[in-house]
């Protein structure tokens, strides 16, 4: 079954067309890496998919349901934002934050379980504002996962995280995808990381430049080169 | 010291109403402070001053007009802020002066300041009637029940609106609800500390409690305890020494804040 189906998605901001006629499908169990340079429209794509921006044209479907028609998809999605923003002295502990993600009556066992799975159980009672970037990232993944979502959407979640935490994070993602069958959609600048983790790739730069199996993309030097050049140009253009 | 004062009916009412208001302000205030809306209570109080003047002028019970004006301004401020993208603090400043200005004009129409106006400006908890006390208790109960029922939604949308929205929480509705409840709370609390000191009850116990570095529930409990403590001691002490309750209550809560800051800078609140 198709977890996600995006057809002819176009998003215009007052000054730019951020996405232009983008269509692709994500099958259940896929691990899709979305690559694209700064300003390519990755966050814009996610905003539309998550219902944060409804001013788009085209259709977005989760499990066959158009999100304009049904809000049921909310409970199947876990989302880890690019920059989790919150008040630095917010009086919430790690378990408070994970509990916010929990939709049904507070289930403390579930919270403990997920914290253990992400290796942050000992941080349970620490205030959220005191954590390091890598710890924070895992807390937000825990919050996204605590509802047992079928789809996990992560927007460039490894900026400012050290190599060791990145490796741990990658192995967690891999396990979620292969063992627990969670469909993962993950945006990144990092071609190597996408090559290592994802089994599908979408190259986005306002339009969809390539979408398919990652093997196909990465074994085709010409394609990779084209992509890199295109994003370089785009980059220069922006500066 | 004589405990005789505890047998007076007006003292019972003052203490009961005071405790209810203390709890209410501390709970609503925690959400406002965390939403960077600390001065919102102040703005609503000042705009209800306009409402009070209007009531006195028109011969209507002033708290009713104050409720109407307070809730209306709360909703207007939110609409304006969203629609014209004015920053929160600027829209609060506008509302605050609009309320006082309207109040002053209406008062001068009706022949200048009266005793009534002063009791609204500075509070009059020792004069609270049986009916007022019942109303205060009912409102406190109702608002606390709503907050308990929607606890997760309110907390989550306070923490991060965007993520709450992604989880399917109707963030806009929750925002209006909080603002609406803040409007009710402000007018209810005018009887305790008056228009001028309301935001003290919203802000000080919460700022103090947040410094203890605990989770959300514990922070709320600490804040409520401090708030209730300040109100109880404030009312009793002010009666014994014949000084104004509003000022005494607020000075007590500032004392707790200062003590907490002291403890903290001695390093006694750093991590276990
Ligand atoms: N709210 C907005 N209003 C106007 N323009 C916007 C808005 N958000 C994004 N844009 C523009 O849309 C384009 C795509 O931005 P987007 O944030 O989706 O890119 P991105 O791929 O997520 O980039 P990055 O890798 O830097 O996160 C950019 O040109 C950006 O300036
Ligand atoms: Mg982005």
For the stretch B62-105, pLDDT in tens is 899 999 999 998 888 888 877 887 777 788 888 888 888 988 89
Residue A15 has pLDDT above 50, yes or no: yes
Residue B33 has pLDDT above 90, yes or no: yes
Please indicate whether residue A78, judged by its CB atom, sits closer than 6 Å to ligand 1: no
- For the CA of A44, the nearest atom of ligand 1: 18
Cα maximum dimension of chain B = 61
Q: To test the ligand 1 pocket, which listed residue (A12, A17, A33, A40) has its Cβ within 8 A of the most ligand atoms? A: A40
Residue A237 has pLDDT above 80, yes or no: no
Task: Taking residues B133-153, report their average pLDDT.
Answer: 96
Strands A151-155 and A77-80: parallel
Residue A138 lies in a domain: no
Q: How many domains does chain A have?
A: 1
Q: How many domains does chain B have?
A: 1
Residue A118 lies in a domain: no
CA torsion angle B198 B202 B205 B207 (round to 10): -120
A185 phi and psi angles, rounded to 5 deg:
-120, 120
* Prediction ipTM score: 0.86
CATH of the domain at B121: 1.10.3470.10
Task: Taking residues A30-49, report their average pLDDT.
Answer: 93
Residue B271 has pLDDT above 70, yes or no: no
Condensed to tens digits (0 to 9), the pLDDT of residues B150-177 reads: 999 999 999 999 999 999 899 999 999 9
Q: Find the distance separating the first CA and the last CA of chain B, reported in whole Å.
A: 40
Condensed to tens digits (0 to 9), the pLDDT of residues B181-237 reads: 999 999 999 988 898 888 899 999 999 999 998 999 999 999 999 999 999 999 999
Task: Taking residues A22-33, report their average pLDDT.
Answer: 95
B210-213 long-range contacts, CB within 8 A, separation 24+: B210/A89, B210/A91, B210/B33, B211/B260, B211/B261, B211/B264, B211/B269, B212/B260, B212/B269, B213/A91, B213/A127, B213/B269, B213/B271
Condensed to tens digits (0 to 9), the pLDDT of residues A130-172 reads: 998 888 888 999 999 998 899 999 997 766 677 887 888 888 8
Q: Are A228 and A37 in contact (CB under 8 A)?
A: no
Distance CA B48, CA B184 (A): 10
CATH of the domain at A161: 3.40.50.300
Residue A28: which domain range?
2-82+150-238
Ligand 1 centroid from CA B86, angstroms: 23
What residues sit around ligand 2, an ion, with C-beta below 5 angstroms?
A: A 42-43, 82
Residue A8 or residue A166, greater confidence: A8
Residue A116 lies in a domain: no
Mean pLDDT of all residues belonging to chain A: 88
Mean pLDDT of all residues belonging to chain B: 90
Residue A225 lies in a domain: yes
Residue A99 has pLDDT above 90, yes or no: yes
Helices B88-109/B62-84 angle, 10° precision: 150
pTM: 0.88
Residue B255 lies in a domain: yes
Number of Cβ within a 10 Å radius of residue A143: 25
Residue B268 lies in a domain: no
> Looking at the complex, does the CB of residue A77 fall below 8 Å from at least one CB of chain B?
yes
Distance CA A179, CA A170 (A): 14
Residue A37 lies in a domain: yes
Residue B270 lies in a domain: no
Task: Taking residues A82-88, report their average pLDDT.
Answer: 84
Burial of B109 (0-12, 13-18, 19+ CB in 10 A): exposed
Condensed to tens digits (0 to 9), the pLDDT of residues A167-225 reads: 888 888 999 999 999 999 999 888 888 888 999 999 998 999 888 888 888 888 877 87
Question: Of A17-31, A62-76, B135-149, B241-255, which gets the smallest average pLDDT?
Answer: A62-76
Residue A186 lies in a domain: yes
Residue A20 or residue B271, greater confidence: A20
Distance CA A154, CA A141 (A): 9
Ligand in closest contact with the CA of A41: 1
Ligand 1 centroid from CA A35, angstroms: 14
Strands (E), B157-226: none
- Scanning the structure block, which residue is given the tokens 């209507």? B60
For chain B, how many residues are written?
A: 272
- Scanning the structure block, which residue is given the tokens 């730019």? A16
Q: What per-residue confidence (pLDDT) applies to A161?
A: 73
CA torsion angle B222 B228 B232 B234 (round to 10): 80
Residue B211: which domain range?
4-262
Tokens of B235: 């009312």
């Amino acid at each position: 079954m198709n977890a996600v189906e995006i057809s002819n998605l176009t998003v215009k901001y007052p000054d730019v067309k951020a996405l232009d006629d983008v269509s692709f499908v994500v099958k259940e169990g896929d691990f899709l890496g979305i690559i694209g340079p700064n300003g390519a429209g990755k966050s814009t794509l996610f905003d539309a998919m998550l219902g944060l921006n409804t001013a788009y044209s085209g259709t977005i479907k989760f499990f066959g349901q158009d999100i304009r028609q049904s809000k049921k998809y909310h409970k199947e999605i876990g989302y880890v934002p690019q920059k989790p923003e919150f008040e630095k002295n917010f009086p919430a502990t790690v378990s408070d934050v994970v509990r916010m993600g929990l939709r049904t009556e507070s289930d403390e066992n579930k919270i403990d379980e997920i914290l253990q799975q992400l290796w942050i159980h000992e941080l349970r009672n620490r205030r959220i504002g005191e954590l390091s970037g890598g710890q924070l990232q895992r807390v937000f993944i825990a919050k996204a996962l605590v509802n047992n979502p079928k789809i996990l959407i992560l927007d460039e979640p490894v900026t400012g995280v050290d190599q060791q935490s990145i490796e741990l994070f990658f192995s967690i993602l891999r396990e979620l995808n292969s063992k627990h069958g969670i469909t993962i959609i993950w945006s990144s600048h990092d071609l190597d990381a996408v090559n290592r983790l994802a089994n599908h790739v979408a190259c986005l730069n306002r339009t969809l430049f390539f979408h398919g199996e990652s093997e196909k993309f990465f074994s085709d030097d010409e394609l990779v080169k084209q992509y890199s050049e295109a994003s370089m140009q785009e980059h220069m253009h922006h500066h | 010291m004589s405990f005789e004062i505890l047998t007076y009916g007006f003292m019972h009412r003052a203490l009961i109403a005071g405790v209810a208001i203390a709890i209410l302000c501390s709970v609503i205030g925690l959400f406002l402070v965390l939403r960077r809306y600390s001065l919102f209570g102040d703005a609503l109080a000042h705009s209800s001053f306009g409402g009070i003047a209007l009531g006195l002028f028109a011969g209507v019970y002033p708290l009713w007009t104050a409720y109407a004006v307070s809730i209306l301004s709360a909703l207007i401020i939110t609409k304006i802020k969203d629609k014209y993208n004015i920053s929160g603090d600027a829209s609060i400043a506008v509302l605050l002066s609009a309320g006082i200005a309207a109040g002053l004009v209406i008062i001068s129409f009706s022949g200048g300041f009266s005793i009534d106006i002063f009791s609204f400006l500075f509070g009059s908890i020792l004069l609270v009637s049986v009916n007022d006390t019942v109303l205060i208790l009912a409102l406190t109960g109702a608002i606390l029940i709503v907050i308990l029922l929607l606890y997760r939604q309110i907390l989550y949308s306070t923490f991060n609106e965007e993520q709450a929205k992604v989880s399917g929480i109707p963030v806009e509705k929750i925002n209006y609800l909080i603002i609406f409840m803040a409007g009710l709370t402000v007018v209810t609390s005018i009887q305790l500390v008056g228009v001028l000191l309301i935001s003290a009850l919203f802000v000080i116990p919460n700022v103090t409690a947040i410094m203890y570095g605990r989770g959300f529930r514990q922070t709320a409990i600490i804040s409520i305890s401090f708030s209730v403590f300040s109100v109880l001691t404030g009312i009793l002490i002010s009666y014994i020494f014949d000084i104004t309750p509003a000022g005494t209550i607020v000075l007590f809560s500032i004392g707790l804040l200062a003590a907490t800051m002291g403890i903290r800078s001695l390093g006694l609140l750093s991590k276990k």
